[in-house]
Amino acid sequence: MSTAHPSAVGRPLRPRILAWTFLASLALAAFWLPWNFEFLASASERERSRTSLVALVQAALHFDTSPATLQLGARLALETLATASLGTLLGAMGGFVLALGASRAVWDLPRAYSRQHWPMRAALEGFRVVLDILRGIPDFAWALILLAGPGPGSVTGILALGLSIAGILGKIYSELWDALEEKRYAILPASGASRLTTFLYGIQPQTGKAMLSYTLMRAECAVRNASVIGVVGGGGLGGELFDQFHFGRYSSAATLLLILFALTAATDLVSGVIRGRLRFGSEGGARDKDERTMHPGARSAAGAARADLRRRVAVVGAVALCLGAFAFSQRSAWSRAARELSYIEWPWIRDQLSRLASPDLSARTLGQALGGALLPLLLGLLCTACAVLLAGLAAYPMSSRFQLRSRQFTIESASALRRVWRGCVYAVARTTALVARATPEVAWLLVFAAVTRAGILPAFLALTLHSFGVLARVFTEAIDDVPARYLESHFAGPRGATFLYAAIPHSLRPWTAYAAFQLEVNVRAGVVLGIVGAGGLGDRFHTSISFWSLERASTFALAMVLLTLLLDRGARALRLAQVDSRT
């Protein structure tokens, strides 16, 4: 008879509790969310929905290719790209500055604080609170707040995106700096270098690649957000797209959607090219190629460094040139915003800001904030669960390892016809996921709301579809990263069985991490969809801003921030719990 350690007996209960809590939350979401099935309630509503659906299908088959629509789409696409690029630049600059104050490594604070460290600790926490506020309020909400200043247009979109991105990138930058092992730059402070010198020559260079990767990823997201932020006055394609759907001009809307899709899909490609061009050292593609094709002594280290520097300077110069061109292209928007600001009575603005700084803490408003926050939370949870299921099913047909390179771990000899069939399945699955993720959630919402009317149902469909596209890509990448040798050692039947019993268990940990991150994204997106018709916290904030009830709007904005913090701290605690359970 063996005696188990008490902690070992208790550990298996934790995943079981989490699983039951998750299932109970899904059941609560399915029954509590106010589903809108009114489009099926009567014959007239069913006929209206059928007519709208037929019109959407016809529009998808017959785009409006008139010169006026194409010129309008091209102009708005340029405005969208300018808004996203300048907003990302503004956010990266602001986030970098705020991250300096939010980083423990920059302050050179030890992990165990003493009394003399409390002033710096207070300043550190103050910067972190600012970052929490900036990223906790979605860019759509920032756009609604800023409309009173520069007015509707691309400037409002740039500022709104910049504030939100500053909060996100500032948190990421500071965490990257804090995660760097101190021994990797300890020689600098030991030799008497100042904090600034230690940061510039020790901390920042060693995290530069990761910072660049996260900034480019956020730029891709900014393009998708900028393409629809015009729905609330942020300029770009979104406002015109909303008007086309509102007035039932579906052919023009389909053209704008196609332009939007091309813009966001091209952004992914360009971002990948920039990542490749900015690699340097032994990890750079060009350097590796040279090292393979030239004699080992033919290229000196100094020559390689000069080539890497020239390549990086060329890319940075090209990016700077594009940003300058984007800023110049919006000169009329800058002039219009400056004109609007010149009309503002700044004492009045000061009064409004003081109202925003005084949230309504009455029981009624707090209850509405709590109920409103529950809707995006449950919606995000349900959408994430459905998207995970769909992405898991799609990972098999989307996997190049299982569809195109299965001979690496099997002994099968597929016929030419079967290889062609697998290639077609692979291409269709990949294209479906690309369309799903390249089209923003708000754009999907407008499409589905044209058939079902605004409400929870189109928001659920839009968020699930977009999340499926995102998760399908990262799930498939995790499957394709499974070593062929591992699959070969576990191969004992058809490819599907190997996928189910070998590839998925091997990829389960990154799948869980991706799903947890997507849950946080979906809850924030649920707030945004509420602003454009899904209800909940976003709708209540929008209504309060529209009627200038700024104290109530401040309460709902505070609820957004607290909801973001709850998700962030919860995900961090869950990751720590998983680490503890493995030790």
CB-CB neighbours of 408 under 10 Å: 13
In the three-class reduction of DSSP (H, G, I as helix; E, B as strand; rest coil), residue 66 is classed as coil
Quote the pLDDT of residue 276: 58
Residue that has been written with the tokens 């909400």 in this structure: 141
pTM over the 0.85 mark: no
Closest CA to 256 of 235, 233, 239, 234: 239
In the three-class reduction of DSSP (H, G, I as helix; E, B as strand; rest coil), residue 32 is classed as helix
Structure tokens that stand for 121 in this block: 């600790």
- Domain 53-294+302-344 bears CATH identifier 1.10.3720.10: yes
Is the distance from CB of 79 to CB of 154 less than 8 angstroms? yes
Region 360-582: CATH code: 1.10.3720.10
Q: Indicate the burial class of 315 (C-beta count within 10 angstroms; 0-12, 13-18, 19 or more).
A: middle
- Separation between Cα atoms, residue 181 and residue 403, nearest integer Å: 41
Residues of the chain with CATH 1.10.3720.10: 53-294+302-344, 360-582
Quote the pLDDT of residue 104: 85
Distances from the Cα of 254 to the Cα of 15, 84, 257, 444, 462, angstroms: 46, 22, 5, 12, 16
What end-to-end distance do the CA atoms of the chain give, in Å?
A: 25
φ and ψ at residue 157, rounded to 5 degrees: -65, -40
- Separation between Cα atoms, residue 553 and residue 547, nearest integer Å: 10
Provide block-wise average pLDDT over 10 residues at a time, the chain (583 residues).
41 62 83 85 85 88 87 90 92 94 82 68 88 90 87 88 93 88 81 81 84 85 88 84 86 90 83 60 41 46 69 79 86 83 80 86 92 92 94 92 81 80 92 90 90 89 94 90 81 80 88 87 90 88 90 92 84 56 45
User: How large is the greatest C-alpha to C-alpha distance in the chain, in angstroms?
Assistant: 84
φ and ψ at residue 391, rounded to 5 degrees: -65, -35
Quote the pLDDT of residue 466: 94
Quote the pLDDT of residue 425: 93
User: How many CA atoms lie within 13 Å of 278's alpha carbon, on the beta-carbon side?
Assistant: 19
Residue that has been written with the tokens 């269709």 in this structure: 428
